[in-house]
Amino acid sequence: MRTVVSRLIHSRSSLPRLFIMDAPRNGRYLSTDSGKVDEPFKFEEAETVNIPPPPTEKLLVLGGNGFVGSHVCREALDRGLSVASLSRSGRSSLHDPWASNVTWHKGNLLSPESLKDALDGVTSVISCVGGFGSNSYMYKINGTANINAIRAASEQGVKRFVYVSAADFGVVNYLLRGYYEGKRAAETELLTKFPYGGVILRPGFVYGTRSVGSVKLPLGVIGSPLEMLFQHTRPLNQLPLVGPLFTPPVNVTAVANVAVRAATDPVFPPGIVDVYGIQRYNQKSK
């Protein structure tokens, strides 16, 4: 959070107890104090001051030890937020220094009662929960688990909820029917429970540095060139059936940046943000 502060300096050694501004006369102002004419106010050049978020602002990241979730946690910590995470494995296996600054909770979103402690004092939630498998399994993880989290957060009085969903990929949607049906069911629930504070991010392929134990996989080697290439093929995205396959990849840091902003900025508009919107909001925040 950045705030512009201007320091006000008066030409006299002390300010009058009562000062009423009148219309300027030849660049000077009249004061009611003893009927004297004061010199005009002088302003120093405005300076930008970094002010940390209020200490009462607490973010809960669901799936914080995953690829996208871990980047969301780090982005939120960099912004001075108090960060907690809930996942089935609990504490992250990452050895990065930032991980020790997250409050880790172990729980299963298919058992909503495990959310109670994690939601204590939370003002906003970002869900990065998702997975692949059989159609029934994918619907449970992408749909039911997130629906449970959305309902629990709403009942707890959470102000904002951001859901990292997925872009449509045309024919791929049919092949991964349970995955997309679950995602869309969670989206519908979010827009119902959080009509003014619910944000859905729909990235396509998310690339970036993925940590697997002590090994870091540089997925940007493939994703970054594709993102640049697909920037020039946007019209192809409108083609029937195969058009969505031209949806450009997006960097995981951009997704994390926009997710945290959407979760903490009260004027961030609710609704669905596609990959082009993610890119646009990420550029505006730089």
- The average pLDDT across 38-57 equals 52
DSSP letter for 28, please.
B
- Let me know if residue 192 belongs to a domain: yes
- Let me know if residue 162 belongs to a domain: yes
Cα 155 to chain centroid distance, Å, stands at: 21
**% residues pLDDT > 70 (the chain):** 64
Q: What pLDDT is attached to residue 10?
A: 42
Query: What is the tens place of the pLDDT at every residue in 144-170?
Result: 999 999 999 999 999 999 999 998 877
Which is more confidently placed, 93 or 138?
A: 138
Q: What pLDDT is attached to residue 207?
A: 87
- Let me know if residue 133 belongs to a domain: yes
- The average pLDDT across 168-182 equals 82
Residue 103 and residue 91 in contact, taking contact as beta carbons nearer than 8 Å: no
pLDDT bin (cut points 50, 70, 90) of residue 182 is very high
pLDDT bin (cut points 50, 70, 90) of residue 64 is very high
- Let me know if residue 23 belongs to a domain: no
pTM above 0.85, yes or no: no
- The average pLDDT across 128-136 equals 93
Residue 72 and residue 90 in contact, taking contact as beta carbons nearer than 8 Å: no
Amino acid, single-letter form, for residue 122: V
- Let me know if residue 37 belongs to a domain: no
Residue 251 and residue 223 in contact, taking contact as beta carbons nearer than 8 Å: yes
Which is more confidently placed, 41 or 264?
A: 264
Q: What is the mean pLDDT of the chain?
A: 77
- Let me know if residue 75 belongs to a domain: yes
pLDDT bin (cut points 50, 70, 90) of residue 78 is very high
User: Per the structure, how many domains does the chain have?
Assistant: 1
CATH of the domain at 262: 3.40.50.720
Residue-range definition of the domain harbouring residue 81: 58-284
CA gap 148, 154 in Å, rounded: 10
pLDDT bin (cut points 50, 70, 90) of residue 53 is low
- Let me know if residue 34 belongs to a domain: no
Which is more confidently placed, 101 or 220?
A: 101
The label of the residue with tokens 């602002």 reads: 57
Looking at the predicted structure, is the pLDDT value of residue 257 above 90?
A: yes
